[in-house]
Amino acid sequence: MDNTHRLVEFVSNHWGLALGFVGLVILVIHNELRRRLDGIPHLGPHAATQTMNAEGTVILDVREDNEYKQGHIANALHIPLGQLAKRLPELDKYRDRPLIAYCRTGNRSDSAARLLHKHGFATVHNLAGGIVAWQNANLPVTKK
């Protein structure tokens, strides 16, 4: 039995699993394309530290209060994603400064970065991998 025949037999016997796999692949491709086309640069932890040090970048933590209290990047502003839209005026003074948004893994902060970009913030970045990637890179966090 050749591999093509085996694949066809598997798909016909397990069509739900095969359909789920195809759906997952489409979802991953869609998310990756959206991320690349939305105009929001994603910085890894080390690139983010270089940006912070060189440009006086504003750091925005969009996690929930309990997550923030467990540890955050030093000097990060804290506005949970669910409050960001109504609290945008608090960030107006940073409109012309580079801003890096982060959350736990980079998903919520991607939404935050897109919202900020849409509202005219000049240079917005998303911390790729969020605080998890930051800590995995052995970069410091604070509870202060």
Enumerate the active-site residues: 103
With residue 111 as reference, give the H or E element that holds it: helix 107-118
In this structure, the number of other CB atoms found within 10 A of the CB of residue 22 comes to 11
In DSSP terms, 99 is beta-bridged to: 58, 124
Distance separating alpha carbons of residues 138 and 126, to the nearest angstrom: 19
List the beta bridge partners of residue 127: 43
